[in-house]
Amino acid sequence: MTDDEAFTVTPYEVEGDVDYEKLLDEFGADRLTDEQISAFPKPTHPLVRRKVFYAERDVDRFLEAVNTENPHSLVTGRGPSGLMHIGHVFPFYFAKYIQKQTNALVYIPISDDEKYLLKDLPLEKIDGHTRENLRDILAVGFDPDRTRIIVDTADADVVYPLATAFAKEVTQATVDATYGAPPNIGISFYPAVQAVHLLLPQLVDGRHPTLVPIAVDQDPHIRVCRDIASKQRYNVNKPGALLSKFLPSLGGPGKMSSSDDAPSIFLSDDRETVFEKIRQFGFSGGQSSVEAHREQGGDPTIDVSYQFLAYFFEESDDRLDQLAREYRDGSLLSGELKDIAATQIADFLEEHQRRRAEVGSLANELMPYRLTENERSRARKRVGYPTDAVVEW
């Protein structure tokens, strides 16, 4: 929270109109530079070149590994508290893009235990959300030979031993100072579990640069993990981070959320629903009447439909610039801009839903993405645990 308490950004709460510049000062992260952007694989992903990913930690080490074709990995995960919306999915499509361009390892942790600790939901409900979210993640189309999906409760044989080791490195004072007073002791322990998520690629495959493309509210997890990684006994690099701005709510400034009253566009929405939500709820940067808009023009920087296109759904920079120019001079109306955004979002969702419908039995589909027994043993061994999954007494 800033000095004037205008907004709050933590892993568990985002409120107010976020000032991203002030947040950089508060978190101590660095702005992503033009030189760093130019070092990303070509063609540079829109989320990078348009600075939706706007801040970083140790991204140079990752980019050097990419450009010298040395081992590197990405970690980006999901907390299954409900249906996934478009704000949840763009980090996964970004990770897939980097994997395709560079042959990166991608690790996807699913923090079902954290959501149970945070949300007033029964375990059965969390399990249902986990299964549905996994289908959406599988629909993104990761390379199973270069991707591992870890579900905390299902992979407790590797997650818990590592988290126990890392928990000894973190004091309660650090947790309180970083996150505020935790609501229960489970959340006090959870930074150690998050450290497992972020360090697991190195614990399995050896020391190498890891990048975490993640929304800026999750940066506290990165900071705690980097402290743990600095302990020489683990022989790992501090994970780097690529921090993104929030995809705005349909209602205007703020984070799109599936757990509050702000409208969201879910990955399961059909074309008609997408158009209805954007037309009815989409915050407009235009004027109050067609005549006024033709005369005065609109402001694309606050228009949600334009922001959706700029964040993720319009590939062409020239087309995006054209839309902004026409919106400012009044030749493009708010309703027309809404329909352009709705069309592109609906097209994207229909293709995603087509691939999702092709996902078969979840147990069978997940098998190629699970950690192997050898990988589990290697990870446990790195922190001094027996390599066997079950110890014979």
Provide the 3-class DSSP secondary structure of residue 111: coil
Over range 232-251, report the average pLDDT: 91
Residue 274 binned pLDDT confidence (cut-offs 50, 70, 90):
very high
| Per-residue pLDDT, 1 | 40
Looking at the predicted structure, is the pLDDT value of residue 391 above 60?
A: no
The mean pLDDT of the chain is: 92
Burial status of residue 37 (CB atoms within 10 A of its CB: 0-12, 13-18, 19 or more)? middle
Residue 4 binned pLDDT confidence (cut-offs 50, 70, 90):
very low
Residue 239 binned pLDDT confidence (cut-offs 50, 70, 90):
very high
| Per-residue pLDDT, 180 | 86
- Alpha carbon of 293 to those of 286, 296, 301, 347: distances in Å? 6, 5, 15, 28
pLDDT digits (tens, 9 = 90+) for 170-186: 999 999 998 888 899 99
CA dist 173 and 50 (Å) reads 38
All structural domains of the chain, each given as residue ranges with its CATH number in brackets, are 7-249 (3.40.50.620), 269-357 (1.10.240.10)
| Per-residue pLDDT, 243 | 95
Between 6-10, 169-173, 229-233, the lowest mean confidence (pLDDT) is in 6-10
How many Cβ atoms are within 10 Å of 128's Cβ, its own excluded?
13
Residue 295 binned pLDDT confidence (cut-offs 50, 70, 90):
very high
Over range 45-65, report the average pLDDT: 96
How many Cβ atoms are within 10 Å of 131's Cβ, its own excluded?
14
| Nearest in space to 138 (alpha carbons), one of 374, 370, 304 | 370
Q: Which residue has the higher pLDDT, 92 or 28?
A: 92
Between 4-8, 94-98, 129-133, 276-280, the lowest mean confidence (pLDDT) is in 4-8
Looking at the predicted structure, is the pLDDT value of residue 2 above 50?
A: no
How many Cβ atoms are within 10 Å of 314's Cβ, its own excluded?
19
CB neighbour list of residue 310: distance below 8 Å, 6 or more residues apart: 46, 50, 52, 300, 320
Over range 317-343, report the average pLDDT: 97
3-state SS track over 138-190: HHHCCCHHHEEEEECCCCHHHHHHHHHHHHCCCCHHHHHHHHCCCCCHHHHHH
AA letter at 47: L
CA dist 147 and 170 (Å) reads 29
Looking at the predicted structure, is the pLDDT value of residue 331 above 50?
A: yes
pLDDT digits (tens, 9 = 90+) for 15-26: 777 888 888 888
DSSP conformational letter for 78: B
Give the global pTM.
0.92
Residue 5 binned pLDDT confidence (cut-offs 50, 70, 90):
low
Residue 368 binned pLDDT confidence (cut-offs 50, 70, 90):
very high
Looking at the predicted structure, is the pLDDT value of residue 205 above 50?
A: yes
Contact 132, 356 (CB under 8 A): no
Q: Which residue has the higher pLDDT, 131 or 178?
A: 131
Looking at the predicted structure, is the pLDDT value of residue 370 above 90?
A: yes
Over range 33-41, report the average pLDDT: 97
Over range 131-142, report the average pLDDT: 98
Looking at the predicted structure, is the pLDDT value of residue 98 above 80?
A: yes
Looking at the predicted structure, is the pLDDT value of residue 9 above 70?
A: yes
| pLDDT > 90 in the chain, percent | 81
Rg (CA), the chain: 21
| Per-residue pLDDT, 12 | 75
| Nearest in space to 27 (alpha carbons), one of 218, 204, 310 | 218
Over range 319-324, report the average pLDDT: 97
